Amino acid sequence: MSRVRARGETIRRFILEHVDTNPRDISKMTAQHFGITRQAVNKHIRRLSSEGALTEDGHTRSRSYKLSPLVDWVKTYGVVPELAEDIAWTEVANALGQQPDNVLDIWQYGFTEMFNNARDHSEGNSIMVRVKKDAVKTEVMVSDDGVGIFRKIQRELNLLDERHAILELSKGKLTTDPKHHTGEGVFFTSRMFDLFQILSGGCFLTHTVGNPEDWLLESQGTGGTFVFMRLSNHTARTTKAVFDEYTSGEDYGFSKTVVPVQLAQYGNDKLISRSQAKRVLARVELFLKVVFDFQGVRTIGLAFADEIFRVFADEHPGISLIPINMLPEVDLMVKRAQFARTTGQSRAN
């Protein structure tokens, strides 16, 4: 490939990746970024428009651009005993069209996991799948009319509420049907996609690539479960890389988890008690490495820190406990608990 052709493709890729957020000044922005004239940029824009990748709107100074939809496919499946995820995947793969092998691998894993969850756990009657694709990214939505994923986990495992269910779901290795499911699907799927979201009941869970934490937002109540996945058509990410980050050993055992500590907070409550810490610690003994992500946590109590970083650490010396994203006040409490452990001190509170 010649340098001129390679540079041209780089410029066109830049236009496509930035046009959604800069629909009116994409020409100026691209010219400044590459040090070329706006006339040169407009040649690339006209080519992308002629290829169907961009859509123009308006004239002259009011002209704006946006990504053209290449695919918008929708199908609803009835939940019946003979419904098979491999058949549904074949239809979704056809809708996805030409994609690099690593991208298709991610889509196959994520879609089949979410489709299986809806089929086996939702208690609903139908599953709707929608595929939307443009020149930059693909989005897949899987929704059902069932009881709701968070509500079902809360009910089946007798948890405090739907927020507690989300905290447990975020850790991984959680399933209401251990005979047929490993409980790993949501954990790994959320880390394979650029954006992964679940809306169910009154809760909205979102995870963005590059951020180890999960974000929980309150939402208006909704029936069923809605799962949204977005992935760049040109990502270099692979399923193997994601599995390797959280597994170990020859059997690729799921050995590492990330606990978004913020999900244990309720309203304006502060994380101060041992009972709150025990909620955070539930089932983490199933892992060899546990990352406690304190993103969004302003402060914690000494009893909370002591329960995790002295009491639990003493009882499970083979488990590595790693706190991250700590504000100074949180860091101080964690270090006090760790110091108490190393010196053999105990805490009565």
Q: Running DSSP on this structure, what letter comes out for residue 271?
A: B
Q: What is the pTM of this model?
A: 0.82
257 in Cβ contact with 291 (< 8 Å): yes
Contact 281, 308 (CB under 8 A): yes
For residue 250, the tally of other CB atoms under 10 A from its CB is 5
Residues 6+ apart with CB under 8 A from 132: 69, 71, 72, 73, 138, 139, 140, 141
pLDDT given for residue 274 in this prediction:
94
Per DSSP, 119 falls in state H
The pLDDT value given to residue 206: 86
Residues of the chain with pLDDT below 50 are: 348
- Kindly report, residue by residue over 306-336, the tens digit of the pLDDT: 999 999 999 999 999 999 999 999 999 999 9
Distance between CA 78 and CA 81 in Å, rounded?
Answer: 10
pLDDT of residue 291: 92
The pLDDT assigned to 164 comes to 82
Q: For residue range 108-120, what is the model confidence (pLDDT) as tens digits?
A: 999 999 999 899 8
State the Cα–Cα distance between residues 56 and 336, nearest whole angstrom: 60
